[in-house]
């Protein structure tokens, strides 16, 4: 049930334009400090997971592995997405809480 809640919150973030998706946009959000939480699909490639693990650790941005590429894309009304960044702090905290802080 928690995954449905998280996917719903991602849809709200997308409608409020508080999410960026795709590898390049997510990486740029991490680098410029606008990303509050990064979600990486569990079925993303090992290189993608490593890239965001390293970037997020360096820039001190929380990250979580969640869902599939198809689920992430569908939740925000787009094609498959391996990664996305939440730009709103309140939404990021709510999603993080729904996912459980012990997932990293």
User: Residue 25 falls within a domain, yes or no?
Assistant: yes
Model pTM? Answer: 0.91
Cα end-to-end distance, the chain, whole Å: 20
- CATH code of the domain in which 62 resides: 3.30.1330.30
pLDDT tens profile 1-44: 468 899 999 999 999 999 999 999 999 999 999 999 999 999 99
pLDDT tens profile 77-98: 999 999 999 999 999 999 999 9
Domain that includes residue 61, residue range: 2-95
Angle between helices 46-58 and 23-32 (to 10 degrees): 10
User: Residue 101 falls within a domain, yes or no?
Assistant: no
User: Residue 102 falls within a domain, yes or no?
Assistant: no
* Domain count along the chain: 1
Helix (DSSP H) and strand (DSSP E) numbers for the chain? 5, 4
């Amino acid at each position: 049930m928690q995954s449905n809640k998280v996917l719903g919150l991602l849809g709200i973030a997308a409608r409020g334009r508080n999410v960026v998706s795709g590898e390049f946009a997510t990486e740029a959000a991490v680098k410029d400090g606008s990303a509050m939480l990064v979600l990486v699909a569990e079925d993303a490639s090992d290189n993608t997971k490593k890239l965001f693990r390293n970037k997020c650790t360096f820039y001190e941005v929380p990250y979580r592995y969640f869902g599939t590429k198809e689920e992430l894309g569908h939740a925000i009304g787009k094609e498959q997405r391996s990664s996305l960044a939440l730009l709103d702090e309140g939404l990021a905290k709510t999603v993080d809480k729904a996912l459980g802080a012990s997932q990293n």
